[in-house]
Structure 1
């Protein structure tokens, strides 16, 4: 029995901040993991691009585009994107973690949904999509897999991996993007997409939710694409008679083959949905927001008996039968009545004070005046944070402030701070993040690294520098400042934004003419890799010395390769002795041996001339060098 290999990402600490816990899902571009943000102590979903795509600029650009597109949206029906970066060779994206299921999983369990359920989901998806369209973003990959249904009832739209600006709607010759079952006719035929293409995909999703199946099926993707381009989507009621005709009309409107006949964007379709929603719900009374229990009085309950009790210690009044003491008896009666009335007042005062003490104790102990802990609301959406604070008994006042960590539109904190004790009913100020403050970037190019880091204290400068060899910039001096994408930073940058210093390590050591072993040691010590080519002859460079050193990159960085070509020294060959031989034959012999030949006789006399002397006469000479012949005519 074999077991699947363990995922190497599980347990990994990404970028020194995100501790990967488990795998959630795997797609065509990336794998999604559950992780813990150690800095903010919260669970997040971290999306990691597949390693085999990391070197593909198209996929990498698309991956970064997802972060930038989603980060521009702050809406309760859009999955929040918190961070994006590069850890070694791994590109990642940090998103809001929503425990729950996708719409696809819901459809697998229930096959089809009721009109009311469809309307609820569609309202949420259209709300998020309307925010995207308003921001100029086209999703381009709407499908049930990208609609998230959280356990707490929230519905969010995610996966903006194919999103593009609404104005950039022309194809670039690449394959069609998105799932073929939801592609609009204009994407199939012309490769263009705008907000109305999202509406078409949403119409297909409506049909699927209401009927339990997609309108077009086929064995091959091209067959499905052909149907999208040439057929009209049928009404859902033709498959499910329970579908109201208002939803039939909405589906047909959204899936019109001509984009001009569809809603212009998600806001137009959302407004229409909300117009027909009361009709779809049949005028039924809305469900109560909370259950209320009413206790009826008991019919047989006995009527309480009312009694007046005399104060304790009141004297017993007796009838005095002695007629002579009538005046004394009357005076005694009046005295008793006065003391009785005083007793009633004292009793009432005691009861009043007791009630006041009990009420005060309740007010400050359990009532509105009691102390309560201010809940933690950082990174929540404002409406959710407001509900949490009001549920804890506080009055909420909203304000705004910049925050270098919390994304724009999310709660950055409260006053009093989370965890502090405050009176119930008191006001808690809820601060909504405006995002980081945009600061001017100091000019640190040409400065030593330490001075540059001090000048960039308002930003988050990577502890590890990017390094580069330079013959013009001294070692330890800043060549450039790079932003989070590795490009030269602009004149302004967000506070605490990630920056990297590109620092010079001096020039590449010159090694031409050095012994090969010494050249290798010098380059290796400088952090470069060495590759040796086959030795070649060189009449000027001694054997086993470097003839040429070639760079494989420009500019060179530590780890780059330098190709060394060693010298074999001069190419020496034996010089044939041709003295006394026929001049023409001697020339042929020397030329065949690899030499050039010089002589003074006219070529006409060479066949009848004899070599009188040669220089050099014997020994070895460099191949290609010139041998001088002196000839004489044979008489």
Structure 2
């Protein structure tokens, strides 16, 4: 059955521009439609917030933040956002339409994936999240439903509706946003989220791709949350015999319950994933899990577990039992089986003849009393109340007229900043739309002042920690931090920001910082020196020294420095570390016999044995045959030393 026939938006023209053709998916916060931009004549996806949430300013702000965040992420694996707006009670995003399916559809159809396919999907997902993390944002709701796989094989991450700037995640009391099966322990326990919570969710998604099932299950969300807090994610090889240990290690690293043990962001996890893939052979990559199956996919929009829906989840307060589930239930009382006391029989009352006209009058009085009582009950429960209509997005004059039509009057008005509603339009009411108000009001209108613009503070010369705190106080977030040498700014302090100081920005915008590495230090050459002399020379130059655990054969004398990690003359920051490799002395190598051979053949053979070659020809240089060599064939010489070969003249 086509459920889109019952959707009031299908067939409508939203905001005078977007023709809604069909419903694609329904989530916990919004519905996604396939639509056509009639102005540009292109197919796109229209994400429309549920009208019940559009009355909540915090949800609307989060919805608009998604558009702004994704608009700053120009990445091939992120679903692009084209436009954002509101049409009455409908707040929407116009996004890139990806023809294909979600990872959830793939898992529902195939059960589990081969490691090669799982890594093929994981890597572009991590690349997309890595771009977000390095831009200063956290997704906070990674799950298979938000991974889109196009018909052309492209993988894209969608639904940045819960995105927050790094460092602005707040510790909420009582609730946390997300999807229970993919929440990190610190999200559940403290309500906080950073890049490592996305890493945890990706680890759970990888486990699900490899095994076909979630690592933690339960009959209620509370049971799942309890397992996240108290139980490690099991090794996927426990469910898939023969699975490579490198994949077990990858899942364990990403899903460590202690966030300090996890890779610090998606870029670091992507590097681990690529190392794991490189260590696997074709047989390990193409292992078929026992849970893999091939069957018809479930229709879109069906079969989703309640645990897969993004929701507001109550977070237990200290002292509460996390596994307790408190539902308000209606309980039926058992029938009363107690014996009833016997009442003495009374004589039947004597019948008195009734006057018919008097009986009719009594009946009429009874009916009037019932009508009066009913009207009183109706007035007490509903008649004295009026529901506040939706006036969000309307001008003040339009809102006052709409309220007057409902018999309500406008009381006071106040203003506030909003990125969702245009300046001068209604962004909220008190009481909220849909709530009941006694009599004719009053209703308070909240008028939008437009988006709040903040300015980038002056950060030059501030230590990095102080600069980040200054950005936080200004309502901004620190973005990508890079380092450069500077003779003017102290090491560890900010050289510049992008955008620069005084630039107006939207709240929660990321500001890139360039931090000083201090004046550059020219690395001295210490190869061939004793270890103590080399250590002294490098420390005098302002560098720290590390000694490699393994020694190597080299042309340098035993116990001296054979190699240094930073080359002589390289520019380094003060305090940078230089690793020294100690020589075990030259390796003694047998010298091949080359007398009687041509100069070219002798040279080639000696170089292959690890020697340098010097050719001395006797005048008048008419012979190309080797007549002698400085070290006899069969004797040994230090590897890398020079062997001289001679030719005989005539």
Question: Per the shorter chain, which TM-score range?
Answer: 0.3 to 0.5
Question: TM-score normalized by structure 1?
Answer: 0.46
Larger relative contact order (Cα-Cα within 8 Å, sequence gap ≥ 6): 2
Structure (1 or 2) with the larger CA radius of gyration: 1
TM-score, normalised to structure 2, is 0.45
